[in-house]
Amino acid sequence: MNFRIVKLEKFSGSEASIYSVILEEDEPEQKTLFEYFVAENITNHREEVRDIASRLITIGTKTGARDIFFKDHEGRHGDGVCALFDNPDKNLRLYCIRFGKGILVIGGGGHKPKSMKAFQESKKLTKENDYMRIVSTEIENRIREKEITYSPDGTELLGEFKFYDHD
């Protein structure tokens, strides 16, 4: 999977930088996974999408990405993928990757009714979760190889953000 990481200025602030992913196939439109998530859900779940955006602003500007705001182990154990907490009366799931309190990578997600026990029951959620597992693994590899580092205050990633296997 070829992709690059971009920083979403609308949500980032002094407490955390918030990033998303542009797949190579979406380069012509320059559309992140999160923008697809918004476009796919804004009509039927407008309030939930607005609430998610509002929480992302708070995370970036006021609180940082504290673990309590997320559900861990949303992929396979240890893959680093989590989901923004969804209320029992809400149905949207947004997949994320946290790197401490200061860095959050948001991807896509979708509708997950409460009757659904596991995301694997939905092809859409499985696909979105798979994307984020790959992104998580690739970033972890670059951090290990010091091709990506953290800024001194831990609120920024620095380094090479293109993950193209043909480069």
- Out of 14, 25, 50, 100, which residue is the one contacting other proteins (CB under 8 A)? 50
CA distances from 131 to 61, 64, 135 (A): 27, 24, 6
Half-sphere exposure of 47 (CA within 13 A, CB side): 5
- Out of 28, 43, 77, 87, which residue is the one contacting other proteins (CB under 8 A)? 87
Alpha carbon distance 100, 67 (integer Å): 8
14 forms part of the interface with other proteins (CB under 8 A): no
73 forms part of the interface with other proteins (CB under 8 A): no
- Out of 85, 100, 120, 121, which residue is the one contacting other proteins (CB under 8 A)? 85
Q: Give the shortest CB-159-to-other proteins separation in angstroms.
A: 5
Site pattern 100..139 for other proteins (x: CB under 8 A): ----------------------------------------
Please give the span between the terminal C-alpha atoms of the chain, in angstroms, as a whole number. Answer: 13
Among all chains, which residue has been given the structure tokens 């959620």? 125
Q: Give the shortest CB-114-to-other proteins separation in angstroms.
A: 12
45 forms part of the interface with other proteins (CB under 8 A): no
CA distances from 22 to 33, 94, 123, 139 (A): 6, 16, 20, 14
